[in-house]
Chain A
Amino acid sequence: NAGVTQTPKFQVLKTGQSMTLQCAQDMNHNSMYWYRQDPGMGLRLIYYSASEGTTDKGEVPNGYNVSRLNKREFSLRLESAAPSQTSVYFCASSEGSGYTFGSGTRLTVV
């Protein structure tokens, strides 16, 4: 019973490099989300996907892109990483009210 799986768990990037954070859920949920967690700021929504084939911007979308590859997978891409994108990234899914979160990706941009 995996729930929401995120890869990688840790990543260090140099400024300007690109990378994709992967997220997959096995609960057949329609909605998926990407949040970033920063000290003192809680979790802020980057992008979400209400259903397969749809994506929309959240509160802090600049510098990111997403792909809802199928119902299970929702990836987050950083095209040109910046130090301000150093954060812990969480993927979540939902069907109804409650979210199920993954265990996060800790990203450092140097």
Chain B
Amino acid sequence: QQQVKQSPQSLIVQKGGISIINCAYENTAFDYFPWYQQFPGKGPALLIAIRPDVSEKKEGRFTISFNKSAKQFSLHIMDSQPGDSATYFCAARRSGGYNKLIFGAGTRLAVHP
């Protein structure tokens, strides 16, 4: 039972384009939604996160859009660069749950020059 569904599985974008990765969740008791970036051979690293009382958060070229009523959130990477090529994971934390994260299946992003 996958509580956080992520799409697409893989994504190819041209340099300078916009990369969009989507996640949907089923549990309304989630209170924190981070995105992690993972390069080959490395552990995931926190990229950006949002709480459900905010509809959008922007940090540089990375933006999270959050739709509470639809139980969906997405990561937008503006002006995508080859250095952004990595696997991206969305996650959600159940409130009152000892900061345990439930991860999506991941999206492998390739940005072509």
Check A101 against B34 for contact (C-beta < 8 Å): no
Check A58 against B44 for contact (C-beta < 8 Å): no
Check B43 against A103 for contact (C-beta < 8 Å): yes
Q: How far is the CA of A103 from the CA of B43 in the complex (A)?
A: 4
Q: Within 8 Å CB of A102, what residues of B?
A: 43
Check B46 against A99 for contact (C-beta < 8 Å): yes
B76 to chain A, nearest CB (A): 20
Q: How far is the CA of A58 from the CA of B101 in the complex (A)?
A: 10
Check B34 against A42 for contact (C-beta < 8 Å): no
Q: Chain A 76-102, CB within 8 Å of chain B: the 1/0 string?
A: 000000000000001010101111111
Which has the most chain B C-beta neighbours within 10 Å: A31, A43, A102, A103? A43
Residue of A nearest to B105 (CB): A42
Check A44 against B103 for contact (C-beta < 8 Å): yes
Residue of B nearest to A98 (CB): B46
Question: Interface on chain B toward A: helix, strand, loop, or mixed SS?
Answer: strand
Q: Within 8 Å CB of A101, what residues of B?
A: 43-45
Given A43-B44, A43-B89, residue A99 in contact with residue B101 (CB < 8 A): yes
Given A42-B6, A42-B89, A97-B93, residue A31 in contact with residue B98 (CB < 8 A): yes
Q: Chain B 79-101, CB within 8 Å of chain A: the 1/0 string?
A: 00000000001000100001111
Q: Chain B 98-113, CB within 8 Å of chain A: the 1/0 string?
A: 1111111110000000
Partner of B44, one of A48, A59, A90: A90
Residue A33 at the B interface, CB < 8 A?
yes
Q: Chain A 48-92, CB within 8 Å of chain B: the 1/0 string?
A: 101000001011000000000000000000000000000000101
Residue B55 at the A interface, CB < 8 A?
no
Check A97 against B98 for contact (C-beta < 8 Å): no
Partner of A33, one of B41, B46, B100, B106: B100
Interface residue ranges, A against B (CB under 8 Å): 4, 31, 33, 35, 40-45, 48, 50, 56, 58-59, 90, 92, 94, 96-104
